[in-house]
Structure 1
Amino acid sequence: LSWPLNVSLYYMSSYFPGVSGVTVVTQKPPVVTVRKGEMVTMDCNLGTVTNYAAWYKQVQGGVPQYVVCWYHGWKPEEIKYGSGFSFPKFTSNSQSTSDYRLIINNVEESDSAVYYCQTWDGSAK
């Protein structure tokens, strides 16, 4: 008898420096535990209209890895993926210009990590 493997994914938010104002980035829920093979969604509210969100994955003891970025209004085929990340395993979408979602399909133990949502307001050149 084999038991399903539970995979925990943790969320943290990030806002890169070089901006003129304060942007509060909120990710929820902070921790998600799913069974191997399931799908998980992670939501990120940027608190302001930026039209852009990027997602990063950081495993314990490692450096953040760029997963995917999404501009509000993009078509799914326009999504930009980081090295080693691709559709249909990973995808992203937006519900509005400030609400973005990362979707991980067929979750595996190797997906267990801290995931960061990042944005940029365009003020830093």
Structure 2
Amino acid sequence: MLLRICTLITALSCVSGVTVVTQKPPALTVNQGGTVTMDCNLGTVTNSAARWYKQVPGGVPQFVLNYYHGWSSPTYGTGFSSSRFTSNHQSKSDYRLIINTVEVGDSAVYYCNTWDGSANEHVSQLFTP
């Protein structure tokens, strides 16, 4: 079964207008059982963790994982584990969510979120089916 995960690239910026979190690619198609990756750039925030959330239509956001480039592994939300969900980083501001052995239930909106200490607020971006 083919699963399609799309992204809505609408960057949300903080009040100062400096920090912009962006995610890519714009569309993902993966076979059930395959692997999918979603990238998140934290913009000017380089000393903060990337937090990932999943939200199914009509549901509340679920915390998937939190990962910081200085950590050896992510921390996980309830119901999510390293056997299928993980993260890595390419730089201090570029993070990747990886979902292995994709299931139909993985189709959802995925939010990348970070804390901008200079603006004293959270900044987010989302992927949506």
Correspondent of 1:56 among 53, 56, 65: 53
> Aligned in 2, Cα 1:21/1:50: closer, same or farther, shift over 3 Å?
farther
Equivalent residue pairs, number: 118
Distance in 1 between the 2:7 and 2:53 partners? 10
Are 2:13 and 2:20, in contact at CA under 8 Å, matched by a contact in 1? no
Correspondent of 2:110 among 96, 112, 115: 115
* TM-score using structure 2 length: 0.81
Distance in 1 between the 2:7 and 2:78 partners? 21
Q: Which residue type is aligned with residue 54 of structure 1?
A: R
Q: Where do 1:33-44 residues align within 5 Å?
A: 33-44=29-40
RMSD: 2.1
Correspondent of 1:29 among 8, 25, 29: 25
> Aligned in 2, Cα 1:16/1:57: closer, same or farther, shift over 3 Å?
farther
- Work out whether 1:73 is the aligned partner of 2:44: no
* TM-score using structure 1 length: 0.83
Q: Which residue type is aligned with residue 91 of structure 1?
A: T
Q: Which runs of 5 or more residues in structure 1 are unaligned?
A: none
> Aligned in 2, Cα 1:16/1:67: closer, same or farther, shift over 3 Å?
farther
Q: Which runs of 5 or more residues in structure 2 are unaligned?
A: 122-129
Q: CA deviation at 1:122?
A: 2.4
Greater Rg by CA: 1
> Aligned in 2, Cα 1:50/1:21: closer, same or farther, shift over 3 Å?
farther
Distance in 2 between the 1:69 and 1:16 partners? 20
SS at match of 1:110: helix
Distance in 2 between the 1:67 and 1:97 partners? 20
Q: Determine what percentage of the aligned residue pairs are the same residue.
A: 62
- Work out whether 1:102 is the aligned partner of 2:107: no
Q: CA deviation at 1:21?
A: 5.3
Are 2:13 and 2:19, in contact at CA under 8 Å, matched by a contact in 1? no
